[in-house]
């Protein structure tokens, strides 16, 4: 085994995927006086704390799913966290956009 002293000074290149999804809405929405035409889902920025918070929020809705990641309500909550928007903004999306966004979140979580 050769010891190369230069290698310890070589900066590592970060190739970690950032898991950011840009979603152009097929049907823009007006939410709280703001027109939303695109969402940026920063799923790679979510932490376990965020997912547990989303799980607690989901529990307060009165809905139940034995596996939260299969519930669109839970996925909408996580999407809101990832987009930096209230869950109600995600729920206001048109059906096609809502299904697309929740599927992206589900695919990310199931990895």
Domain count, the chain: 1
The model's pLDDT over 81-107, given as tens digits with 9 standing for 90+, comes to 999 999 999 999 999 999 999 999 999
Alpha carbons within 13 A on the beta-carbon side of 21? 18
Asked if the structure places residue 5 within a domain, the reply is no
Structural domain of 86: 17-110
Distance CA 49, CA 108 (A): 16
Asked if the structure places residue 4 within a domain, the reply is no
The model's pLDDT over 52-78, given as tens digits with 9 standing for 90+, comes to 999 999 999 999 899 999 999 999 999
Residue 5 DSSP label? G
Asked if the structure places residue 39 within a domain, the reply is yes
Asked if the structure places residue 11 within a domain, the reply is no
Which ranges in 17-86 belong to alpha helices (H)? Answer: 48-60, 72-83
pTM: 0.82
């Amino acid at each position: 085994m050769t010891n190369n002293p230069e290698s310890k000074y070589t900066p590592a290149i970060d190739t970690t995927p950032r898991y950011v999804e840009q979603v152009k809405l097929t049907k823009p929405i007006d939410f709280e006086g703001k027109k939303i035409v695109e969402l940026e889902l920063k799923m790679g920025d979510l932490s376990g704390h965020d997912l547990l918070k989303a799980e607690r929020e989901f529990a307060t809705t009165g809905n139940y799913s034995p596996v939260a990641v299969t519930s669109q309500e839970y996925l909408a909550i996580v999407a809101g966290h990832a987009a930096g928007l209230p869950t109600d903004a995600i729920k206001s999306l048109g059906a096609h956009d809502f299904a697309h966004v929740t599927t992206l979140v589900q695919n990310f979580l199931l990895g």
